[in-house]
Each structure stands twice: as C-alpha cells, then as structure tokens.
C-alpha cells in the first residue's frame, strides 16, 4: 500500500515530561479537544475570509488566504509522532504528540 493511500490520523494526546525536584512529571493532555475549538474558529472566520478573498481576487492574492485553513489542518495532521526534546543547561523537557 502506498503512503498516499494510507489514512493519516491527527495526534490525539500530548505527552509532556516536565522536570521536577524528584525527577520528571509526566502530563498527558487531551490534544483532540483542540480540534473542535479550531473548527469553530475556522467557521467564525469563514465569512471574513470569503469577503477578503473577493476583494483580493482581482489582484491575484486570494489563494494564500483561502488555502490557509487546509494548510493549518494538514499541519496538525502531520504533527503525529513529533517529539521535541528541549534541553537548556541542566533543564530538560520532552514534548511528544501521540
């Protein structure tokens, strides 16, 4: 099966490993709760985007504005499996999108 044919799922959880005095504290945050909020914001912004796109259409600058929503959505879907290991001096933090 090719990579294009496989289903791409967005990350559902965010795992944070934060340093504490006794070692590390692991937090599991429900990242899937961000998607309904983001969808609501996109629906609220839709009329503004349509009006601005109609204004910018004669100048040929409407495409980036119209495609911003799908680009953000694709970016969120591509974050699954992203691990960020942040280290500054002796402090260390891990962010993992599961």
Q: What is the pLDDT of residue 3?
A: 56
User: Who's near 92: CB < 8 A, 6+ residues apart?
Assistant: 19, 85, 86
- The counts of H helices and E strands in the chain are 2, 4
Q: Is the pLDDT of residue 67 over 60?
A: yes
What ranges do the domains of the chain cover?
13-97
Q: What is the pLDDT of residues 49-65, one digit of tens each?
A: 999 999 999 999 999 99
pLDDT at 28 over 90: yes
* pTM of the entire predicted model: 0.67
The pLDDT of residue 23 is 83
Q: Please report which helix (H) or strand (E) contains residue 6, including its range.
A: none
């Amino acid at each position: 099966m090719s990579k294009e044919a496989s289903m791409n799922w967005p990350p559902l959880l965010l795992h944070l490993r934060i340093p504490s005095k006794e070692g590390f504290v692991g937090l599991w945050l429900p990242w899937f709760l961000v998607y309904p909020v983001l969808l609501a914001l996109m629906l609220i912004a839709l009329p503004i985007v349509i009006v601005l796109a109609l204004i910018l259409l004669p100048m040929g600058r409407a495409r980036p504005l119209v495609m911003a929503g799908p680009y953000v959505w694709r970016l969120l879907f591509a974050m699954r499996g992203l691990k960020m290991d942040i280290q500054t001096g002796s402090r260390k933090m891990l962010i993992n999108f599961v």
